[in-house]
Amino acid sequence: MTLFEGSATAMVTPFNQDGTINYDKFEKMIEFQIENGTSALVVAATTGEVSVMSDEDQIALIKFAVEKVNKRVPVIAGAGSNVTAHAIELAQGAEAVGADGLLIVTPYYNKTTQKGLIKHYTEIANSTKLPIILYSVAGRTGINITVATCKELAKIPNIVAIKEASGDMSQIAQIAEQCCDENFCIYSGNDDQTLPMLSLGAKGVISVLANCMPKAVSDICNKYFEGDVKGSREIFLNTLDLANKLFIETNPIPVKTACNLMGMNAGKLIAPLYDMEEKNLEILKESLRNQGLID
């Protein structure tokens, strides 16, 4: 099955000054995304600062999103952990509150082997009926999902896709060739590679940029799918500078800063994440101004 086609936004989480979740602002962000053509919402994942949340807050945030979205688009819940048993608890918790799918990052820090990855994901998949998107982002976790491992995991019925953020286009092409069929697909995990990945058959993107420019990211995908490759390319290239500037510091520092500059009141970053360096902040502001997103 395909969980979604097009743009899924990796949602930031707005926090109050005391570190609690600002649900009023989060609801406004949800509506902003849906109104601008976003195909799915990814909640409580890396961009949402899930690593600083308690399990209770994580599941509560997912539940809130499910209820407010009310089936208008799929809600995909972050449920990754570097402990298999913990990932299973999160997966089952997300399923219990109505999530439509799961995004599960590779274990981090206590890096496992490829054999261990297969066992890790297999145990999680066996614990839930929800469709699972694998998440390969070695730059953050230190471990890559190889083509051979992806091919093996794609055989599991409820593992339906991979969010590929390795940045290795050769590997991505091999996954497209060897793993993808009507039961398994690729999503771009890097905004600056969305169009090239669409050309390899990706079904869309799980996007950080879409927090700021949901319609543009949606249009990149939709125009491509409609056969308007030139139109898709024009939007992709026009937004490329901001897509890159949103990673001038560790994600989600720049995107949350951008959301605040745009008046979304996304709130504070939770330590150890801190405000942007002044020189990088000015670079980000310039890119936002060039898009007409701030004055």
Catalytic residues: 135, 163
Residue 43 dihedral angles phi and psi, to the nearest 5°: -115, 140
Contact 109, 142 (CB under 8 A): yes
In sequence order, what E strands does the chain have?
6-10, 40-43, 75-78, 101-105, 132-136, 159-164, 185-188, 204-207
* Beta bridge pairs of residue 104: 134
Sign of the four-CA dihedral 20, 21, 24, 25: positive
* Beta bridge pairs of residue 40: 8
Local structure of residue 36 (DSSP, 8 states): T
For the chain, state the CA radius of gyration.
18
